Amino acid sequence: MDEQKLLERFMWLSIAASVLVIGLKLVAAWVTGSVGFLSDAIESTINLVAASVGLWAIKLAAKPADDNHNFGHARAEYFAAQVEGFLILVASVVIIITAVGRIINPQPLEQLGIGLVFSIVATAINAGVGIVLIRAGKKYRSTTLDADGRHLITDVWTTVGVIVGMALVWLTGWEILDPIVALLVGANILFTGYSLLRGAILGLLAETLPEDEVATVKSFLADYSAAHGVEFTSVRTTAAGRQRFVDLVMQVPGQWTVDKSHDHADAVEEGIAAALGGAETIIHVEPLGHPTTVGPMTPQIPPVSAD
């Protein structure tokens, strides 16, 4: 199956799961009157909105480069992660306000046993879909799938906390635990929203690739340098959604022809793409020993050579 269609199907899976989970949690909140269950349902509603935005972002990110976007539209996935993070922050505020109101004006809870059953089923669905999305996000280097999967897993732990709290209310009759649990839920997803926003902003700031991927690039370049008598300097890396970019200078013996240098540049581009599982590499060719000038504000990876 085409990778793009597969990613879209993952997002449709997330949307379908969110709709089902929202229904289950709303029923739990309705039959019990619990603000803890209600806060959990609110978070799942945010999951649905975020998944819908994520689907849009994945579709947009797949559009080819054009005159206004020479490097494609891959950064749209970071926008989706920002929207999701912002929505989580909004949900946390709503939950906290609702919980404080319930502390001030407590209300009795009913049929907690039935509510717990619905909530446990919803948790199992979120856990399964969340794990699938995170694995797919890593496999296909999709920021959107990874963010959505992590959000679902956060929702799982949130619901586990709610279940424990409601079970304690059911066993002890301490109804004050209900809004307290809701407050903890709000604080937890407040941190989650902050983490998602931070990751998306760093992506938009063209952060370097993860350390393990940078090490993979450097290892390939060192091996190529030793085998072919060339050196690499000014190696820079970044990512845009699922796309990886590598920019470097390749210094070659001065007597090489343009054709020979070009052939080696092609080989390096193909080698890096194979080592990373996909990458676009831009190579500037210079004669060995030529001083390489890079702007003072440009972060550098040390020169890579056979030594």
Provide the pLDDT confidence category of residue 173 given band limits of 50, 70 and 90.
confident
Q: Which amino acid is at 29?
A: A
Handedness of CA 187, 102, 48, 112 (dihedral sign): positive
Judge whether 37 and 203 are in contact, CB under 8 Å: no
- Output the pLDDT for position 295: 40
pLDDT, tens only, 124-140: 999 999 999 999 888 88
Closest by Cα among 11, 95, 106, 4 to 52? 11
- Output the pLDDT for position 256: 93
Counting other chains too, the contacts that 103-111 makes at CB distance below 8 Å and 24 or more residues apart are 103/176, 103/179, 103/180, 106/175, 106/176, 106/179, 107/33, 107/175, 108/33, 108/175, 109/32, 109/33, 109/34, 109/166, 109/169, 109/175, 109/178, 110/31, 110/32, 110/33, 111/31, 111/32
The larger pLDDT score, comparing residue 36 to residue 18, is at 18
Q: Which helix (H) or strand (E) holds 210?
A: none
Q: In whole numbers, what is the pLDDT of the chain averaged over residues?
A: 80
Question: Of the spans 66-70, 79-83, 264-268, which averages the highest pLDDT?
Answer: 264-268
Strand partners, 246: 237, 281
pLDDT, tens only, 253-293: 989 999 999 999 999 999 999 998 888 898 999 998 777 55
Can you list the domains of the chain with their CATH numbers? 1-205 (1.20.1510.10), 211-287 (3.30.70.1350)
Tokens in use for 151? 């959000």
Using the predicted structure, report yes or no on whether residue 19 has a pLDDT greater than 80. yes
Query: What secondary structure does DSSP assign to 151-193, as a single string?
Result: HHHHHHHHHHHHHHHHHHHHHH--TTHHHHHHHHHHHHHHHHH
Separation of alpha carbons 150 and 146, rounded Å? 6
Closest by Cα among 20, 26, 19, 24 to 42? 26
Using the predicted structure, report yes or no on whether residue 67 has a pLDDT greater than 90. no
Angle at Cα 144 formed by Cα 141 and Cα 145, nearest 5°? 70
Using the predicted structure, report yes or no on whether residue 166 has a pLDDT greater than 70. yes
Out of 187-196, 220-229, 240-249, pick the least confident. 187-196
pLDDT, tens only, 283-306: 999 998 777 554 433 444 455 555
The total of other beta-carbon atoms located within 10 Å of residue 287's CB is 12
- Output the pLDDT for position 13: 92
- Output the pLDDT for position 222: 93
Separation of alpha carbons 87 and 195, rounded Å? 13
The larger pLDDT score, comparing residue 182 to residue 216, is at 216
- Output the pLDDT for position 299: 42
